[in-house]
Amino acid sequence: MLQAFGSLITQLLHVALILAVAPVLVGVVRWLKARLMGRRGPHLLQPWRDILKLLRKRPVMAETASVVSQATPYLALGATALAAALIPSFAQGMLLAPLADLVLIGGLLALARVCLALNGHDAGTPFGGMGAAREMTFAVFAEPALLVCVMVLAVLAGGSNLDAIAATLREGAVGLRISLLFAALSLIAVMLAENARIPVDNPATHLELTMVHEAMLLEASGRHLAVWEMQAALKLTLWFALLAAIFIPFGTAPAGGGPLAWGIGLALWIVKMGVLALGLAFFESAIAKMRVFRVPDFLGGALLLAVLAAALIFFSMGLA
Partner 1 sequence: MTFGQLPYDMAHVLGGGMLLVSFVLLYQRRTAALVNALALQGTLLAAAAVWQGYVQGAPQLYVTGMIALAAKGIAIPVFLHRLMRRRMPDRAIEPARGIGLSMLGGVMLVALAILVVLPVTTGAQALARENLAIALSIVLLGMLTMLTRRSALGQVAGLMTLENGLVLAAVGVTGMPLVIELSTAGLVLVIIVIAGFFARLLQERFDSLDTDMLHPHRGEGP
Partner 2 sequence: MLTLLGLAFLALLVLAVLGGTGRAPRIAFLGCAVAMGAMGLVGASALLGGEVPPTPLPFGPPWAPALVAVDALSAWFLLILALVGVPASLFAAASSPPPRAEGAAFPLFLAGMAAALVAADGFSMLLGFEVMSLASWGLIAARHPRGPGRRTAGLYLGFALFSGLCLIAGFALLAPAGLGFAAIRATPPEGWQAGAVLVFVLLGAGSKAGLVPFHVWLPRAHPAAATPVSALMSGAMVKVALYVMLRMLLDLAGPAQPLWWGLPLVAVGGATALLGALRANLEQDIKAALACSTLENMGLMAVGLGLALLFRGADLRPLAALALAAVLLHALNHAGFKALLFLCAGAVVGLAGSRDPDRLGGLIHRMPWVAGCAMFGAASAAALPPFSGFASEWLLLQSLIQGFRVAEMSVQLVAAAALAVTGMAVGLAAAAMVRFVGLVFLGRPRTPMAAGAQDATGLMRASLLIPAVASALLAVLAAPMLSLAGGAIQVLLGPNARPAVAGFDLALGELGTRYAPWAVAGLLALAVTILVFAVRRRSKLEAVHAPAWDCGFMAPPPHLPFGDPLSQVSAAGLGQPIRRSLGGVALVIHERHGAAAPGSAQPATLRVTAEDRGVAQLLRPLARARRRLSREAEGLRNLTLRAYLGIAFGTLLGLLSLVAWLERG
Chain contacts with partner 1 (rule: CB under 8 A)? 172-179, 181-182, 185, 296-297, 300-301, 304-305, 307-308, 311-312, 314-316, 318-320
Q: Residue 9 and residue 15: Cα distance in Å, rounded?
A: 10
Closer to partner 1 by Cβ: residue 208 or 297:
297
Measure the CA angle with vertex 34, ends 29 and 37; round to 5°: 125
Can you tell me the distance from the alpha carbon of 118 to that of 98, in angstroms, rounded to the nearest whole number?
31
Q: Considering beta carbons, is residue 103 or 275 the nearer one to partner 2? A: 103
CA dist 108 to 101, 214, 238, 240, 300, Å? Answer: 11, 20, 12, 16, 22
- Contact between 261 and 92 under an 8 Å Cβ cutoff? The reply is no
CB of 250 to partner 2, least distance (A): 22
Indicate which of partner 1, partner 2, none lies near residue 121 (CB less than 5 to 8 Å, by partner kind).
partner 2
Q: Name the binder of 176 from partner 1, partner 2, none, CB < 5-8 A by kind.
A: partner 1
Report the partner that residue 175 touches, choosing among partner 1, partner 2, none (CB closer than 5 to 8 A by kind): partner 1
Q: Which does 178 bind (CB under 5 to 8 A by kind): partner 1, partner 2, none?
A: partner 1
Half-sphere exposure of 316 (CA within 13 A, CB side): 15
Residue 103 binds which entry of partner 1, partner 2, none, with Cβ cut-offs from 5 to 8 Å by kind? partner 2
Q: Which CB sits closer to partner 1, 83 or 313?
A: 313
CB 246 within 8 A of CB 165: yes
Give the nearer residue to partner 2 in terms of CB position, either 246 or 277: 246
CB of 28 to partner 1, least distance (A): 29
3-state secondary structure of 254: strand
